[in-house]
Structure 1
């Protein structure tokens, strides 16, 4: 697991670098799911045969920096493209565009959409009986979207045991704590009631994430509630609402890099 820790730290450094370079928001949102993406791309996803690869979708697409950084670290995305993140004439937009780079599977930005696009892919793979799996990361605030629960009702009916949703439960969204804005807990029990194999885990524990993502779901779709911290890895950003929108200055970058060595 020490190797995964080194990789996730490298991913976080790239996230901070990207946020600093474009003076854009959402660094806290990207940092919170860095461990999840590290475990997926370096331990779980089957990517060797690209034409038959497992699919990952980042439905909380405002955290696009986390996907770009992970893809670059894995060698799937050309690292030179990172220089054009969220810049005029650049190749990588602040929200995901599937035509921008290898490894970006869908265009996303409107919350709740990526989840259901993933369900459609999982259904197609199931019909084709090709063994491919789909993994989708959604935000905890994103689960307030009605489209999420429409899909959640439908997936067990279709027997989509090749589908996993991971809720990045960092307990902060754009304007506050999710429960302050829309009561949606208990989250694990809600997914269970909808017919999912639901698990709750520390979203920064690489070993625990790996085990949960391999656990037998008894024929059900999997819902992994990953308890995370917004801004994880950079102490002055952790669990601070302002880092949903704050920009990374030269001073912020220097302090963050000291902690991420």
Structure 2
């Protein structure tokens, strides 16, 4: 499946694009809540916070083909915060990599949709992730490989704010800057919550923008739930030469579900059947699905 890679410059076209991505993000959120609820385990909070980011990537920014997952000229997306697998699975299903009905097998024995992404089981998964920081390091290696192969493909890696406490993140960031990997874009899902509580109280990563800049990256800070700002940030990143880009996306844990928003417990707690119904009603009330 090929996706749009250039922004429609007309006002009406731009608005239609934004609305279509927003609708797709709502669909992804409904899938997240339902699949985690059916599995009775999983990580809904950080999956919901990343839905707008992932929707903008898969339905606008990335060059990819669901009928040819290993297309050599594709862009690569790495979900380094692998516990948020539901958001990736939902985007892949909506993109045609496998049937949407497969989502309801999340975390079941013999399902190809395990609790963390598995490149050997799931079409469209670039690399198995879950051990925090390793996916980001792999993305840096992919970006270097693409450059060595002289291809114009780009690599996108989504990391968590709690994940950013890992030393391997900063080792990889230095390597990426040293090798001027301007085909690499990191996105920091900054919802300020991890499994044990607030990131700011456990190991604060602020000032995040200043740190990434000091490590040699171009930094862009945005509202991670604004599709317009996400589109603009990805477009800006394509214009940056000689250094990688880190997009610091300020988000809300559990976004669009009232009883999950800003609640640490829903980092890794599944909603009950009644909560699933309530959450889906709330999401659907926000606008049409895509």
Q: Which band: TM-score by shorter chain?
A: over 0.9
TM-score normalised over the length of structure 2: 0.88
TM-score normalised over the length of structure 1: 0.97
> In the alignment, does 2:184 pair up with 1:167?
no
Match of 1:43?
60
- Alpha-carbon separation, structure 1, partners of 2:126 and 2:99: 16
Residue 100 of structure 1 aligns to a residue whose secondary structure is coil
- Alpha-carbon separation, structure 2, partners of 1:246 and 1:116: 28
Aligned residues: 261
Do the aligned partners of 2:35 and 2:105 also contact (CA within 8 Å) in 1?
no
Match of 2:47?
30
Match of 2:104?
83
Residue 211 of structure 1 and its aligned partner are, at CA, apart by: 0.7
Residue 106 of structure 1 and its aligned partner are, at CA, apart by: 0.6
> In the alignment, does 2:237 pair up with 1:226?
no
Do the aligned partners of 1:68 and 1:77 also contact (CA within 8 Å) in 2?
no
> In the alignment, does 2:29 pair up with 1:6?
no
The Cα offsets for residues 182-237 of structure 1, whole Å up to 9 and x where unpaired, read as 13210001000111000100000001001101112232100000000000011111
Q: Gaps spanning 5+ residues in structure 2: where?
A: 1-17, 285-290
Match of 1:236?
259
Residue 100 of structure 1 and its aligned partner are, at CA, apart by: 1.3
Residue 88 of structure 2 aligns to a residue whose secondary structure is helix
Do the aligned partners of 1:83 and 1:90 also contact (CA within 8 Å) in 2?
no
Do the aligned partners of 2:173 and 2:215 also contact (CA within 8 Å) in 1?
yes
> In the alignment, does 2:274 pair up with 1:251?
yes
Match of 1:106?
127
Do the aligned partners of 1:15 and 1:69 also contact (CA within 8 Å) in 2?
yes
- Between 1:41-50 and 1:7-16, the stretch displaced more is 41-50
Do the aligned partners of 2:45 and 2:260 also contact (CA within 8 Å) in 1?
yes
> In the alignment, does 2:161 pair up with 1:144?
no
- Alpha-carbon separation, structure 1, partners of 2:98 and 2:140: 25
Residue 39 of structure 1 aligns to a residue whose secondary structure is helix
Residue 260 of structure 1 aligns to a residue whose secondary structure is helix
Do the aligned partners of 2:186 and 2:245 also contact (CA within 8 Å) in 1?
yes
Residue 93 of structure 1 and its aligned partner are, at CA, apart by: 0.4
Residue 94 of structure 1 aligns to a residue whose secondary structure is coil
Residue 83 of structure 1 and its aligned partner are, at CA, apart by: 2.8
Do the aligned partners of 2:42 and 2:115 also contact (CA within 8 Å) in 1?
no
